[in-house]
Amino acid sequence: MSFLSRVPGPAWPLAAPADDGPGNPWFSWRYAHDNADEILTALQFHAGLTARAVIFALIVALPLAIGAYWWRPLAGPILALSGVLYTIPSLALLALVAPAVGTTRDTSVLIALVLYALLVLVRTILAGLTQVPAEVRDAAAGMGYGRFGRLLRIELPLALPGVLTGLRLATVSTVALVTVGSLIGQGGLGDLILGGFRNNFYKAEIMTGAILCVALALVLDLLIAGTGRLVTPWARGRRA
Amino acid sequence: MSSFHEGFVWLNDPLNWTNPGGLLDRLEEHLVISLWAVLLGCLVGWPLGIWLGHRGRGGGAVVTLANLTLALPTLALLTILPLTPLGFGKPPVVVALAVFAVPPLLANSYTGLRQIDPETREAARGMGLSGGQLLRRVELPLSVPYLAAGLRTAAVQVVATAALAAFVNGGGLGEIISAGFGIGMSNGGGGQIVAGGIAVAVLALLVEGLLALLQRVVTPRALRGARRGRRLRNKFAT
């Protein structure tokens, strides 16, 4: 058993193209052009994995946060547990999940991503809900809203800005976190980054992956922020 | 569950701890890398944050910087830095980790100085303290809880992120995990992967616990009830 044996790199089909200019450039259009298919596939995989993780996390986080909001004694344990889980490094979580779930599919990466996004979302949604002023809640109760009606019509809309902030935070960090999945070759753009490193430190490939990763995060962030502005027209005046 | 069992079997073998490149070796590497990274981060983050907080300017820049690093994958920095003049080995890993330690240190020291009651500052000025005296005798002591919170956040994050250094053969406990994948799941590497995961997780939790304790100790009793500094942390690839 050789202790130092390394994971074989993913089989990206490239060596530095011969007419790529001298040496090992930081960026090469020729590389991007010749490998457009691989790059696009990685980008799609990355975006898809991010979307799935954030959506799953949101679906699980909403009931949890609402539960903690309605039954306050639950809030302490939920937040404490999320704090402990959040401290566990992603690589460790992946290493714990991957052998149990299998390393050939992206399920284990998805599980790790959902867990982290979940923790961010539960916290921000709960914070958003508790920020609803008590007078507003009283007024809603006085108008005859029941528990669910008040939640749907009053409290959730008022918590929406907080929820959106959490969603942006979770999305941006998930985009960056997906790259860790390249440990098992399921890292989307992370596979490009690591592939370039293993492929004789091919800088153009590393740079392409890194730039696309940051760009994807910024685009998704702007997208959510824009959607947030559309669905919370009342908050527009307050922020200048 | 069987993989967990294998993990404990692996941990139970003393040779896996004392071998060259075993757990103890890797733990030492991990701690050394983390220590330097946190030190470097402190050297950059604290003076800058304290200066900005003292001047009361640049809050927007601090937030922007923190948000920007959120979008940057650690893996990208870890792979790019060795190809710069920093060269291979420990220095690029330390620098990469330090880059992610700076935002929490910076943001917490900035808020630490900004959260001080303006009246306190006015009173100190009225007593004739100069800018430097104000900083040393009033502002810094009052922001110690925030500085400690920033240190805790940054240190935990660095220790967690240092596991990723294994991707670029930078040493640390992550090497146990990636060597386990190198052996392969079918050849009994699963136990080693899980064992590495457990080791990294336990180390992160330990550091978190110890620094939480430290934070409590250095916080003056009068300030203990006060709200702790906002724990600004990013999770992009820790």
* Residue-by-residue DSSP string for B126-158: HTT--HHHIIIIIIHHHTHHHHHHHHHHHHHHH
Residue A15 tokens read as 């060596």
Q: Cβ–Cβ of B73/A193 closer than 8 Å?
A: yes
Residue from the list B3, B74, B160 with its beta carbon closest to the beta carbon of A99 = B3
- As a whole number, mean pLDDT of residues A194-211 equals 83
Q: Give which of B38, B30, B18 is closest to B174, Cα–Cα.
A: B30
Q: How far is CA A36 from the centre of its chain?
A: 24
Contact residues on chain B for A194, CB-CB shorter than 8 A: 75, 79, 167
Contact residues on chain A for B212, CB-CB shorter than 8 A: none
From first to last of its 238 residues, chain B has per-residue pLDDT tens of: 577 777 777 787 877 777 877 888 888 889 999 999 999 999 999 999 899 888 887 777 887 777 778 788 888 888 888 877 777 778 888 999 999 899 889 988 988 888 888 898 889 989 988 888 888 888 888 888 889 989 998 998 899 888 888 888 888 888 888 888 777 777 777 788 888 888 888 998 899 899 989 888 888 777 665 544 444 444 433 3
DSSP H or E run through B182: helix B174-183
Chain B interface test: which of A84, A85, A87 (most B C-beta within 10 Å) = A87
Is 80 exceeded by the pLDDT of residue A4? no
Q: Give which of B124, B52, B40 is closest to B81, Cα–Cα.
A: B40
Q: What is the pLDDT of residue A231?
A: 85
pTM for this entry = 0.79
Give the whole-angstrom CA distance, residue A153 versus residue A57.
Answer: 23
Residue from the list A92, A187, A206 with its beta carbon closest to the beta carbon of B201 = A92
Contact residues on chain B for A96, CB-CB shorter than 8 A: 4, 194, 197-198, 201
A&B contacts, CB < 8 Å? 170
Indicate left, alpha or beta for B19 from its phi (over 0: left) and psi (-120 to 50: alpha): beta
* A5 interface with B at CB cutoff 8 Å: yes
Is 80 exceeded by the pLDDT of residue A9? no
Give the whole-angstrom CA distance, residue B168 versus residue A210.
Answer: 15
Q: Are A53 and A45 in contact (CB under 8 A)?
A: no
DSSP H or E run through B3: helix B2-11
Q: What is the pLDDT of residue A20?
A: 52
For chain A, what percent of residues have pLDDT higher than 90? 12
Closest chain B residue to A84, measured at CA: B205
Residue from the list B71, B79, B234 with its beta carbon closest to the beta carbon of A193 = B79
Closest chain A residue to B174, measured at CA: A91
Rounded to the nearest angstrom, the minimum Cα separation between A214 and chain B is 6
- As a whole number, mean pLDDT of residues A79-102 equals 82
What per-residue string of b and e applies to A119-152 under the rule 16 or more CB within 10 Å gives b? bbbbbbbbbbbeebeeeeeeebeeeebeeeebbe
